[in-house]
């Protein structure tokens, strides 16, 4: 059970044991505890400078789609780990397959957000304002999950978002990790 | 000598034999004849649509510099040849090593050209106008050879420009070939 929890949350052995104690052996509750703890850890790490990392690429079979990505971490030591490399490869695969437009939602332009809000609102005419707002926000979340890499469901495991895969790597490697930029070329497109 | 001329010009066997006949066995003159002929051929091919090709990438050892490139040709048949693939690889190497800003000189902005002209002109004060113009044009050519991929000397063989390597491939493969776009990432830059 410990290794399953480590796999699922990216947490270290000691943290998993502590969480299981605290949750009195309930794995679901242990995961919640670990996620909160991991969230705090990631928030704390997120301000640290990321000057190292890797430039990584992926060309889909046949050479019609290709991806170039830069992912940063804090030290060259971490950049050289298999964990970091496999994350770079997964991110490349994701971009090749799912074709996001942005890394993160903060990069989506105001104009686009306004447009998406307007479309969603116009579909809801006649409903109560509070309900409309909730539905519109839901549609906006859906939009982010389509165009933003970090909000996309991971193509190799759609139950997790890319930002969750990222959080697990941060938890495991103990460094701030940032997807800085990517380019995706599709032949003739 | 025939295979050397083919290697140097990218021309076919029959064309090389004809050129050698016409040049009465003088290899230098034969090259000039072949270059002219090849130039005509490239000009003729240059208007043909290039909808096929490859997306290709290169990551320099250590993963700190990476390149993604799209190169187009007319048919998927040519895109799959070793000749085309090796050209894609050479272009990637070139971009990684020499870091051009543009594919071709037509992409350099007017503002940049004006700036380069102004710098060069200001260095020439007091010289006759005709001399200045010639020197300034020379400096502009030099600038193109620094920032434009096609005008750069090939890092693996600085006696040839990338556009000459391209012309040889066009001559050999008999299709219009265009470097459409590239992206170069340098870690942290």
Contacts of A162-165 spanning 24+ positions with Cβ under 8 A: A162/A91, A162/A94, A165/A87, A165/A90
pLDDT 10s digits, A122-158: 888 788 888 888 888 999 999 999 999 999 999 999 9
Say how far residue A138 (Cα) sits from the centre of its chain.
Answer: 18
Residues of B whose CB is below 8 A from A185 = 55, 68-70, 181, 183
Substitution target from B55, B59, B87 for chain A, most A beta carbons within 10 A: B55
> Helix H segments across chain B?
2-9, 13-22, 27-45, 76-79, 82-98, 110-122, 129-147, 162-173
Q: List Cα–Cα distances, B186 to A68, A70, B14, B61, in angstroms.
A: 11, 8, 45, 12
Which residue is associated with the tokens 């799959």?
Answer: B80
Residues of B whose CB is below 8 A from A51 = 188
Which residue is associated with the tokens 């993160």?
Answer: A104
Question: Model pTM?
Answer: 0.84
Which residue is associated with the tokens 């301000």?
Answer: A47
pLDDT 10s digits, B89-131: 999 999 999 999 999 999 999 999 999 988 888 888 788 888 8
H/E segment holding residue A91: helix A82-98
pLDDT at B107: 96
Do A68 and B57 lie within an 8 Å CB cutoff?
Answer: yes
pLDDT at B182 over 80: yes
Neighbours of B23 (CB within 10 A): 17
**Contact B58/A at CB under 8 A:** yes
Q: How close A27 comes to chain B (CA, Å)?
A: 39
Which residues neighbour A85 within 8 Å (Cβ) at sequence distance 6 or greater? A54, A56
Residues of A whose CB is below 8 A from B67 = 68
**Contact A66/B at CB under 8 A:** yes
**Contact B189/A at CB under 8 A:** no
- Contact between residue A63 and residue B55 where contact means Cβ atoms under 8 Å apart: yes
């Amino acid at each position: 059970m410990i290794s399953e929890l480590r796999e699922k949350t990216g947490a270290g052995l000691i943290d998993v044991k502590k969480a299981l104690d605290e949750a009195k052996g309930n794995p679901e509750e242990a995961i919640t505890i670990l996620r909160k703890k991991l969230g705090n850890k990631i928030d704390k790490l997120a301000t640290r400078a990321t000057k190292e990392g890797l430039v990584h690429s992926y060309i889909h079979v046949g050479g019609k789609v290709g991806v170039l990505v830069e992912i940063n971490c804090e030290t060259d030591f971490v950049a050289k780990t298999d964990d970091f490399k496999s994350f770079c490869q997964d991110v490349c695969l994701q971009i090749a397959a799912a074709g996001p437009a942005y890394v993160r939602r903060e990069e989506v332009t105001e104009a686009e957000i306004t447009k998406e809000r307007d479309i969603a609102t116009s579909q809801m005419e006649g409903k109560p304002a509070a309900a409309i707002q909730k539905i519109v926000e839901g549609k906006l979340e859906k939009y982010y999950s389509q165009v933003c890499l970090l909000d996309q469901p991971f193509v190799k495991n759609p139950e997790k978002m890319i930002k969750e895969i990222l959080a697990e790597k941060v938890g495991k490697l103990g460094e701030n990790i940032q997807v800085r930029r990517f380019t995706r070329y599709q032949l003739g497109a």
